[in-house]
Amino acid sequence: MDVNKIQEQIKDNMAELIKTINSDNLIENKEQLLKHFDLLENLHSIKVLRNNNFEDSEGGKTNNDNVTIKKEIEQIEEQKGYPLIRSLKGGRLDGIGIYVPESIIRKKSFEEGDLIHAEPSATDKTKFYYKLIKKRQGSITNESKRIQVSYCILKEENSYLLATEYLLNGERKLIKYDDAPHTFLISKEMSEKEGLESGDLVDIAYNSENVNEFQVVWKHQTNIQKHSNPLPSSYYKEKTQGISESSEYKSVSLKGKKILLLAKHISREFSQVVERMGGEFIHANGNEQTKRIESMVKNCDLLITMTPYIDHSSAEKARDFAKTYGKKFVFMESRGISNFIDKIKVNINH
């Protein structure tokens, strides 16, 4: 069987996937279709597969035709991929030494041992486009000896930033090394390079054989209000009274319920109004990793999405998690505090 026949089979599979698309499996089927497109792209460079790989001695197709096709495709893919070896920050492709930035690893959910293909940019040979060829199979040896502590809380002491705690499912935990409490002291150079300050949530990676060899590898976006120039009032489409003058929220008692707002560039008023109702305010701007979004949705009582002010994929992802965990979710079309309060009043049982 030649490449054309394999391509036809892949296209038939894609057609079947499209026929079965519905609101419940949209994201899953989209991912499967993209994988099929990747296979077609890989096969594009292969002219003809040897016919004796697919035909028996009499020239007919074997009963294991589909299995053989799958193995052949996997061989084609693996020829283009190189294992990812993690550095403290970012990683490299083993065998060719190409660097993979931390942002790419997170965006594409790469893991150590994954087979990655790096395609040089046509305009800049120092830049690459990265594509997952094959996920690692089972557990592998941690060649990089890299350990990551996620959501470390930075605080300032004696003009230095340090991390002694991290967040896990909303709870503070002590950072430990060899079962003993440990403190990461952030150097001035690292603080300036990464733009760090007290209150930041960061991921820290260290060498399992030398905990003093560490690096801040990621700074998370949070809803903590820092000293910055406010957005112009014209940015907020709907003018409302300040919450100190509004009595709308006074009739609502959230009794500790958690409200998750999915939107970019919100004002402090939203968190204030939830707190005055006796609830807990959670903010996501759509840039969080998938596991983080899932955790936030799982732990909230109501998800409110500002649809004009968040990207479509983030809104869909959060909505799907809400369905999975049986959480209430609603959409709002404006930035108005009044609209926000109305959504809470209607959808939260008191």
Q: What is the pLDDT of residues 162-205, one digit of tens each?
A: 999 999 877 889 999 998 999 999 998 899 988 999 989 999 99
Tokens in use for 36?
Answer: 């099929």
- Token pair recorded at residue 290: 């998938």
Question: Which residues face 131 on adjacent strands?
Answer: 117
C-alpha 147/C-alpha 208 separation (Å) is 6
**3 state SS of 178:** coil
Q: What is the pLDDT of residues 244-277, one digit of tens each?
A: 444 455 567 888 899 999 988 787 888 888 988 8
* 310 DSSP assignment: S
pLDDT of residue 230: 46
Distance CA 83, CA 207 (A): 20
With a CB cutoff of 8 Å and minimum separation 6, the contacts of 106 are 218, 289
Is there a contact between 33 and 14 (Cβ–Cβ < 8 Å)?
yes
Of 12, 15, 71, 80, whose CA–CA distance to 44 is shortest?
80
Sign of CA dihedral 98, 102, 107, 113: positive
For the residues 38-43, what does the mean pLDDT come to?
70
pLDDT at 256: 87
Share of the chain above pLDDT 70, in %: 75
Q: Say yes or no to pLDDT of 292 above 50.
A: yes
At which residue do the structure tokens 């028996």 appear?
A: 56
Report d(CA 205, CA 217) in Å as an integer: 7
What rounded mean pLDDT belongs to the chain? Answer: 79
Least confident of 139-143, 233-237, 316-320, 344-348: 233-237
Query: What 8-state DSSP symbol labels residue 73?
Result: H
Q: What is the DSSP string of 252-292?
A: ---TT-EEEEE-SS--THHHHHHHHTT-EEEEE-S-S-HHH
Report how far apart, in Å, the C-alpha atoms of 243 and of each of 120, 207, 336 are. 53, 49, 11
pLDDT of residue 304: 94
Tokens representing 181?
Answer: 């409490």
Q: Which residues pair with 160 in a beta bridge?
A: 157
> 68-72, 105-109, 274-278, 307-311 — which is least confidently predicted?
68-72
Which tokens belong to 297? 């949705």
Give the total residue count for the chain: 350
For 201-230, the pLDDT digits (tens) are: 999 999 999 999 999 999 987 644 444 444
Query: For residues 154, 156, 158 and 163, what is the CA-based torsion angle, rounded to 10 degrees?
Result: -20
d(CA 198, CA 218): 15
- pLDDT above 90 for 62: no
Distance between CA atoms of residues 288 and 223, nearest Å: 12
Is 324 in contact with 345 (CB distance < 8 Å)?
Answer: no
In 3D space, the residue among 30, 114, 52 whose CA is nearest the CA of residue 77 turns out to be 114
CA distance 252 to 344: 8
* 267 within 8 A of 225, measured Cβ to Cβ: no
Phi/psi at 214 (nearest 5 deg)?
-140, 170
Residue in this structure with the two tokens 């993979």, named with its chain if needed: 100
- Residue 196 · residue 190 · CB < 8 Å: yes
Tokens of 74: 């996997």
Average pLDDT of the residues in 23-43: 72
Residue 61 has what DSSP assignment? B
